[in-house]
Structure 1
Amino acid sequence: MSAASPANLRGSLFMVLAMAAFSLEDMFYKSATGDMPAGQALVIFGGLGLAIFVALALLRGQPPVTAAMLGRGLLLRSAIELFGRVFFALALAYSDLSSTSAILQATPLVVALGAVVFFGEQVGWRRWLAMAVGFAGVLIVLRPGTDAFSAGSVFAVLGMLGFAGRDLATRATPMAVSNLQLGVLGFTVLTVAGGVIMLAFGETAVMPTAPGLAKLGAAALVGVLAYNAITVAMRTGEVSVVAPFRYTRLVFALILALVVFGEQPDWPTLAGAVLIVGSGVFTLLRGARVSS
């Protein structure tokens, strides 16, 4: 299939749409944490998204929950995703959107490393070098041992590791589970993650304000849009063509961080982001070339 084929073009456009929507989801959630505790905001956000996916499943004549969703593979995936969701939500609440989003871009690199460790995939020296460069980029963003180091960025690293583990565990997901049912499961995990944060950090729930609820409602709507768009993207075009467009998420995040929160990432953060994105794109493209 040509890189410029209609299927690849459609898949790439849906991937860009998904990344824009995920960035808006992060922005709305982070903004809502200014009105209420992070855990409470995640419970409300997850609950709203869960309700939307349940309604969509029922409208399509699908049961929102099936026995296949309780299989060992999906339970493992959900447990790992719970870990990632907890720490990514904390990172959004207590760290800059720009640095959190930059660190998140290292997920494909960790997935590639995990494929070597857990699935015995073969990796040549070029991809090993690319992964090393990407991880160096993460260290540049973090800058441990300096005054620029933010403890909140550690949450972003832990969240990124959780998401990478979820992606690896997805290999065990049975095809009998539909996209809408996976959405139900995913937003259930979000809701539980909010409860975990509230219990672990001793958060006390407050009466949500109308603006806060509106932000979380918007986050749920764009989150559902993002989930469906990325599913269409990955099932339409070739992975080697479509997947690198995941990195447009960082561009959207940097714009929103500047416009909405007034963040101005310094040069080390931007340089680290370039290394992470560049090495990630190379790893994806090189992996596709080797496997073809």
Structure 2
Amino acid sequence: MSSLNGPIFMVASMAGFAAEDALIKTLAVHLPIGQIGIFLGVGGVLVFAILARLQGHSLLDRQALRGAVLLRTLAEVFAVVFMLLGIALAPLSVVTAVLQAMPLTVTLAAALFLREPVGWRRWSAIVIGFIGVLMIVRPGASGFDPYVLLPLGAVVALTVRDLATRRVPASVASIQVSGWGFAAAIPGGVILLVLAGDPAVMPTAADWGLQALALLAGILGYVALVQATRVGEIGLTTPFRYSRLVFGMMIGVVVFGERPDLLTLAGAVLIVAAGLYTLTREMRLRRRVLPR
């Protein structure tokens, strides 16, 4: 199998997720954002329930309400709330750029809470990445947009989710975890509806079509991501996760008329550079500890 298959699947996955974000942002003009989340959650659960059944598993499992799995799902609920609000209210290019800091926050949290060793080089990369985030968010600056803090909330929640995932028992199938992740969009959407006080709106035929496309893009993105991790070498495939930044920026500029300024672009470059360095450093350290 070609070594390019992993990167190709990864780029396709990131394109799918970027398309899903764009469709959600488009729909948020016509529909309450919480209602969109509920639709995506219900649709995703139905699809993954079928996939799980085909693999001999069920989403109706007591393990979903225990320990690390429950913590992961709760974190996913908060991630949905912050992510949907961020997509709807903040520039898509900014949301996409801030989300790229997640590998750095996972490394930071793993060092602080799981006592994983992190050397001074990766600590330096984390600091540089967070400087990039500050360049994008710019708290305290004139014209500060508080909505750009929403993707930061999503990053925190997704970091908790990823740490909890490391503690999920091996007896829990990946397809089950994925299904429960989609299910988290349902209570997340309900929370948004209640907080906003928006009544549900009957979607038009066009809205139904866009929602279906968003669901399809998200599911295809997930399937491509799974394939990328299965057939590709980690060191070669993982850097292509940052292609989502390219897609997000392009969609923001072309579709939504956004104009990221030089400081935002420079911050995004710092985040990506820090993330790539952290990845290469981790790969190098893993090779050192492998038995010869």
TM (norm. structure 1) is 0.93
Residues 200-255 of structure 1: CA distance to partner in whole angstroms, max 9, x if unpaired? Answer: 22222122122222111111111111112112222333323222111110001111
Letter in 2 for 1:34: V
Aligned residue type for 1:53: F
1:67-146 map, 5 Å = 67-146=62-141
Worse-superposed segment, 31-40 or 227-236: 227-236
Tell me how far 1:59 sits from its aligned partner.
4.0
Q: CA deviation at 1:94?
A: 0.5
Which 10-residue stretch deviates more, 157-166 or 239-248? 239-248
Aligned to 2:274: 279
Q: Which runs of 4+ in 1 moved over 4 A?
A: none
The AA in structure 2 aligned to 1:57 is A
Letter in 2 for 1:145: G
Q: Secondary structure at the match of 2:116?
A: coil
Q: CA deviation at 1:62?
A: 3.2
SS of the residue corresponding to residue 261 of structure 1 reads: coil
**Percentage identity across aligned positions?**
41
Structure 1 residue 23, shift from structure 2 partner: 0.5
1:36 alignment partner AA: L
Give the AA of the match of 1:291.
Answer: R
> 3-state DSSP class of the match of 1:172?
coil
What pairs with 1:34-45 in structure 2 (closer than 5 Å)?
34-45=29-40
Aligned length: 287
Which of the residues 166, 177, 181 maps onto 1:182?
177
Q: Partner of 1:25 in structure 2?
A: 20
Distance across 1 between alignment mates of 2:72 and 2:152: 18
The 10-residue stretch of structure 1 (117-126 or 16-25) with the greater mean CA deviation from structure 2? 117-126
1:285, 1:160 → 2: CA distance? 22
Tell me the distance in 2 between the aligned counterparts of 1:14 and 1:177: 25
Structure 1 residue runs of 5 or longer lacking an equivalent are: 1-5
Q: TM-score, normalised by structure 2?
A: 0.93
State how 1:1-292 maps to structure 2 within 5 Å. 6=1, 8-292=3-287
Is contact 1:105-1:276 (8 Å) kept? yes
Q: 1:36-64 CA deviation, whole Å, 9 max, x = no partner?
A: 11111111122122222223333444323
